[in-house]
Amino acid sequence: MQIIKEDVLILGGGMAGLRAAVAAAEYNKNISVGLVSKLYPLRSHSVSAEGGTSAVLSPKDNFDLHSYDTIKGSDYLADQDAVEKFVRLVPEQIYTTDHWGCPWSRNPDGTISQRDFGGLSYPRATFAADKTGFHVMQTLFSRALKYDNIHIYNEYFATSLIVENNSFNAITTINLKNSEYTVFQGKSLIFAAGGAGRLYQFSTYAHSVSGDGDAIAYRAGLPLKDLEFIQFHPTGLVPSGILITEAARSEGGYLLNNEGKRFMEKYAATKLEKAPRDIVSRAIMWEIEAGRGVKGKYGDTVYVNLDLRHMADILEEKLPMITDIAKRFNGIDPAEELIPVRPATHYTMGGIHVNNDTETPVQGIYGAGENVCISIHGANRLGSNSTNECLAFGNLAGVKAAEYAMSHSMPSLNNDKAKAEETRLWDDLMKRDGGENVAKIREDLRISMDANVGVFRTEDGINNGIRNIKALQERFKKITIGDKSKVFNLELEWALEVGFMLDLAEVIAKGAVLRKESRGGHYRKDYPERDDANFLKHTMATYSTEGPKFTYIPVTITKWKPAPRVY
Amino acid sequence: MSEKNYEFVVKRKDDNGKESYSSYEVPKDKISTVLEGLIYIKENFDQTLSFRYSCRMEICGSCGMEVNGKPRTACSTIVSQLGTDRVKVDPMKHYEVIKDLVVDMDPFFTKYSEGLPYIIREGEEDYSSEIPQTPEQFKEYEQYSMCIKCGLCMAACPIVGSDEDYMGPAPLAAVLRYNKDNRDQGSKYRLEIVDGDEGTSRCHFVGECTEVCPKGVDPSFAIQRLRMQGVRYELGKFFRRRK
Ligand SMILES: Cc1cc2nc3c(=O)[nH]c(=O)nc-3n(C[C@H](O)[C@H](O)[C@H](O)COP(=O)(O)OP(=O)(O)OC[C@H]3O[C@@H](n4cnc5c(N)ncnc54)[C@H](O)[C@@H]3O)c2cc1C
Ligand code: SF4
Ligand code: FES
């Protein structure tokens, strides 16, 4: 067993983790900051974010408007005090990252430019061409290189969290390079390990987004909040799932069914294709269910078409990245041909429960980014409202964790728990030999989640999904990890991820069956209306050996009384 | 081999350092990219195969490898466009191989950070507004800011292959990226570093790096521009000293 000690530990090197690392390192140069990540930071999913990040920068815009858009988008499940705090924290982050070199797109006079995005009442999406996440990530990584007190541990895979007397104790990891079991001790910890979108088959996410952070926290007793809310982006490119940005529709793209007809009028009479993601995703699925989906050269996959042909003259200038992607990955020229799309998982609204100061219920443990739920996104996140969250609350978590580290001493390691985890990895997991294939379990899980706990949900469907999860959990006990290598064992990594996914799938499905209403990303065909009388509340799931235990906490309402969400 | 399959021939290296090739037949209708082929092999035929990947959209830089002799990002290499059904996959050259297609990227990132690839500014910062930068000023460095750190250029560069201390194309292009940013005030520090023996003077402008770069960064041209910056800087230093 290898032991490494750092004052502040950060799990995850995406946008939230890097922002937190820089904040903690700047807070006090004498604090050592250890950033632990299963990927080199620049390989994190955050580099894929395309469209933009919302910030109130113009005197014509204001914080109330940004708050209102966010809250309405959330289908009133967001905590309004959290949202009001959030919108005020963002602008400084835009300017700070500008000083650090982020190439925010500009107006001719050199000031930062902004544009429109779905669900915004003022065009406040700040962007770096259509590579917003990529450029912000390069900026944060470059800034992190400046600080000697930031130590990046590349390709250490976290397997568990140790909590002792309701305080942070340590995280356990495997160094992928040599399979060395490595325990990181720290005074404080920030969870920034991203979302859980790859629990589903068809997804815009990077392959690496498997919900590890959520599952690790959950197993150690931290509550997960609102995990049943998964966002489906209407336009994942078939068959890869690569995102076709919302800008394709906001710039004027049409969605067509197999009759070649536009259909959005039936589902969002005013906003049409520009309606929010959950509404457009459902519209596409209704069309597909009604037999008006397209079946073509992509096997059994049924989809609809995105038509940009009437916008041929603006494609190169306004939508260069997706034009390139369609050509490169599908051999399709959007100026002349239709683009096959269907709804794909895109965002995990739920996550580890934290308060408005990024604190979890456990002393010394904080969290930021897609890994946590504050909640500012409620039942549905607005486009362009996540990267800014990573910056604003990543920064805050960094400061809070640093403050905590300054006033606490290093806890002594709970050796028994650390040893027990080592035993679980090498003597249990690696030695299981029932012949079940990890990749096959993963595929079966994903197919079942798509079918049963996807865009449309019903009691029967979800229960079917739960039965499948139970069966898959049994099969997981009988896996054989065919690779016994001690060097970069990708099969072991997959096995650990699938173990996490199975736990989370159960939380999502059971939370979904209990929520007998439709709100934002959670749509129950058997309960198609929002039910504020019974369900204007957050779901909290806590681990037990028999499965998740559910409780509920109220939503904080400040100024905006829940109203019907019409677009 | 059936016409319905591609033949993947993949270089292997196990824990004991033993090297070999494994062949797999991958159905053409199941995959489109080289990365999908590798995932298919691992899921269906061979659990012991290791490689790196994440975004599958050529933006995270994980999946650099050699495909039919050319350094490429596996996720954006469409197999049907290779012009052959035989796909030979090797790890990138000029890196130490950890296992199979996984190479040690640490030396790359170490070299990358040597050139101070971050904004350097003097004095206290006021973060209450942006530093003006016109679209033209952005164009000065735009191309160099597109680097995804896949490291392919290092695998293509003959100098990197023969001189392991040479900084190499991507790290030098990053230096120019920051030198050309009007918000930066740190050129003088960076030029001191890259004008040294292991910097721009090593480059022979063969241009292999530019040819393999998936992001159009054109490191070769960047190094030329950087060398010119260096000459001007040294001349300036010389005259300042004479005064
Ligand atoms: C295609 C796409 C486009 C998007 N576009 C936008 C946009 O335009 N605007 C916007 O605001 N949002 C956008 N989003 C959402 C946004 O990109 C993400 O929510 C955000 O980047 C998440 O950042 P993060 O730092 O929380 O997590 P991530 O970037 O996912 O980082 C997670 C980190 O945790 C590490 N990690 C995970 N598990 C482990 C483990 N077991 N051990 C060690 N380390 C671990 C990983 O290595 C990684 O470094 C988009 C999302 C998608 C899918
Ligand atoms: S310069 Fe091009 S080839 Fe080299 S690391 Fe950057 S993106 Fe890759
Ligand atoms: S997987 Fe990200 S660049 Fe290929």
Q: How far apart are CA B169 and CA B159, in angstroms?
A: 10
Q: Which residues in A lie closer than 8 A to residue B14 (C-beta atoms)? A: 485
Residues A13/A37, Cβ–Cβ less than 8 Å: yes
Interface probe, candidates B97, B124, B130, B137, chain A, greatest A C-beta count within 10 A: B130
Interface of A with B in 239-298 (CB under 8 A): 239-240, 242
Other C-beta atoms within 10 Å of A236: how many?
Answer: 25
CB-based pocket (< 6 A), ligand 3: B 53-56, 58-63, 73, 75
Q: At what angle do helices A132-145 and A387-406 cross, to 10 degrees?
A: 20
**How many residues can be counted in chain A?**
567
**What was the pLDDT predicted at A554?**
98
| Smallest CA separation from ligand 1 atom 44, residue | A37
Give the burial string for A103-129 (b: 16+ CB within 10 Å, else e). bbbbeeebbbbbbbbbbbebbbbbbbb
The complex's ipTM works out to: 0.97
Query: Which residue shows structure tokens 């914080």?
Result: A63
Whether B47 sits inside 8 A of A482 (CB atoms) is yes
The pLDDT of residue A101 is 98
Residue B128 DSSP SS3: coil
- The whole-angstrom separation of Cα A204 and Cα A244 is 9
Is some CB atom of chain B closer than 8 A to the CB atom of A39?
A: yes
> What is the distance between the alpha carbons of residues A491 and A476, in angstroms, rounded to a whole number?
14
For ligand 1, is residue A157 a contact (CB within 6 Å)? yes
Q: Among positive and negative, which fits the CA dihedral A447, A448, A454, A457?
A: positive
Residue B26, phi then psi, degrees to nearest 5: -115, 125
Do A357 and A396 meet the contact criterion of CB atoms below 8 Å apart?
yes
Q: Which of A215, A194, A221 is nearest to A205 (CA)?
A: A194
Total count of residues recorded for chain B: 243
Instruction: Give the model confidence (pLDDT) of A29-42 as tens digits.
Output: 999 999 999 999 99
Angle at Cα A171 formed by Cα A167 and Cα A176, nearest 5°? 175
**Considering only residues 335 to 374 of chain A, which have any Cβ-Cβ distance to chain B shorter than 8 Å?**
none
Kindly list the distances between the CA atom of residue A313 and the CA atoms of A105, A323, A334, A345, in Å, as whole numbers in the listed order.
21, 12, 11, 31
Question: What is the rounded CA–CA span in Å between residue A13 and residue B161?
Answer: 30
Neighbours of A485 (CB within 10 A): 18
Predicted local confidence at residue B243, as pLDDT: 64
Question: Does the Cβ of A370 fall within 6 Å of ligand 1?
Answer: yes
Q: Taking the CA atoms of A308, A309, A314 and A319 in sequence, report the sign of the dihedral they define.
A: positive
Among A208, A437, A490, select the one facing B54 at the smallest CB separation: A208
Annotated catalytic residue, options A233, A342, A346, A381:
A233
| pLDDT by 10s per residue, chain B, length 243 | 689 999 999 999 999 999 999 999 999 999 999 999 999 999 999 999 999 999 999 999 999 999 999 999 999 999 999 999 999 999 999 999 999 999 999 999 999 999 999 999 998 899 999 999 999 999 999 999 999 999 999 999 999 999 989 999 999 999 999 999 999 999 999 999 998 888 999 998 889 999 999 999 999 999 999 999 999 998 888 888 776
Judge residue B192's burial from the number of C-beta atoms within 10 Å of its C-beta, 0-12 exposed, 13-18 middle, 19 or more buried.
Answer: middle
Residue A509, phi then psi, degrees to nearest 5: -65, -45
Q: Amino acid letter at A31?
A: I
**Given CA atoms A17, A19, A21, A27 in this order, what sign does their dihedral have?**
negative
- CB-defined contacts A:B, below 8 A: 158
Determine the atom of ligand 3 nearest the C-alpha atom of B58: 3
The reply to whether omega before A239 is within 30° of 0 (cis) is yes
Output the CA torsion sign for A372, A376, A380, A383: negative
Burial of A464 per CB tally in 10 Å (0-12, 13-18, 19+): middle
Q: Pick from B239, B112, B120: which is nearest to B189 by CA?
A: B120
Q: Do B132 and A109 touch (CB under 8 A)?
A: yes
Q: Which of B57, B106, B117 sits opposite A48 (nearest CB)?
A: B57
Q: Please tell me if the CB atom of residue A49 comes closer than 6 angstroms to any atom of ligand 1.
A: yes
Contact A459, A420 (CB under 8 A): no
Q: Is A135 a catalytic residue?
A: no
Quick one: DSSP state of residue B131?
Answer: P
Q: What is the Cβ-side half-sphere exposure of residue A223, based on CA atoms within 13 angstroms?
A: 20
Alpha helices per DSSP H over A155-224 = 212-219
Tell if the CB–CB gap between A142 and B55 is shorter than 8 Å.
Answer: no
**Residue B132: its chain A contacts at CB < 8 A?**
109-111
Q: How many Å lie between the alpha carbon of B239 and the closest alpha carbon of chain A?
A: 31
Closest CA to A42 of B170, B197, B182: B170
Please tell me the distance between residue A145's alpha carbon and the centre of ligand 1 in angstroms. Answer: 20
Atom of ligand 3 nearest to the CA of B55: 2
* Residues B164, A437: Cα–Cα separation, whole Å: 42
Which residues neighbour A71 within 8 Å (Cβ) at sequence distance 6 or greater? A78, A80, A83, A378, A560
CA distance linking residue A347 with residue A351, whole number of Å: 11
Q: E-assigned strands of A150-299? A: 150-154, 156-164, 167-175, 180-191, 224-225, 230-237, 254-256, 294-295
Active site residue A249: yes
From first CA to last CA, the distance across chain B in angstroms is: 76
**What tokens appear for A507 in the block?**
């939380």
Cα A369 to ligand 2 centroid, rounded to whole Å: 28
- CA dist list (Å): A274 to A258, A280, A286, A456: 20, 8, 17, 21
Q: Is A454 within 8 Å of A505 (Cβ atoms)?
A: no
Across the interface, of A131, A242, A439, the residue whose CB is closest to B42 is A439
Closest CA to B49 of B60, B62, B61, B35: B35
User: How far is the C-alpha of A97 from the C-alpha of A137, rounded, in Å?
Assistant: 10
CB contact (8 A) between residue A483 and residue B47: yes
Task: Report the pLDDT value the prediction gives residue B238, as an integer from 0 to 100.
Answer: 84
Distance, CA of B26 to CA of B3 (rounded, Å): 11
Both tokens assigned to A198:
């790859």
Handedness of CA A103, A104, A107, A110 (dihedral sign): negative
Residues of chain A in contact with residue B119, where contact means CB-CB under 8 angstroms, are 99-101, 142-143
Q: Which residues of B touch A40 (CB under 8 A)?
A: 62, 105, 109
Question: What is the distance between the alpha carbons of residues A188 and A13, in angstroms, rounded to a whole number?
Answer: 16
Residue closest to B184 by CA, chosen among B97, B117, B124, B242: B117
Distance A240 CA to ligand 3 centre (A): 13
Q: What domains can be seen in chain B, in order of their start residue? A: 5-103 (3.10.20.30), 106-120+134-242 (1.10.1060.10)
Question: Is the preceding peptide bond at B145 cis, omega within 30 degrees of 0?
Answer: no
pLDDT digits (tens), chain A, 567 positions: 999 999 999 999 999 999 999 999 999 999 999 999 999 999 999 999 988 999 999 999 999 999 999 999 999 999 999 999 999 999 999 999 999 999 999 999 999 999 988 788 999 999 998 899 999 999 999 999 999 999 999 999 999 999 999 999 999 999 999 999 999 999 999 999 999 999 999 999 999 999 999 999 999 999 999 999 999 999 999 999 999 988 899 889 999 999 999 999 999 998 899 888 989 999 999 999 999 999 988 888 999 999 999 999 989 877 888 899 999 999 999 999 999 999 999 999 999 999 999 999 999 999 999 999 999 999 999 989 999 999 999 999 999 999 999 999 999 999 999 999 999 999 999 999 999 999 999 999 999 999 999 999 999 999 999 999 999 999 999 999 999 999 999 999 999 999 999 999 999 999 999 999 999 999 999 999 999 999 999 999 999 999 999 999 999 999 999 998 877
- 3-state SS assignment for residue A258: coil
Q: Which of A488, A489, A492 to mutate to test the interface with B (most CBs of B within 10 A)?
A: A488
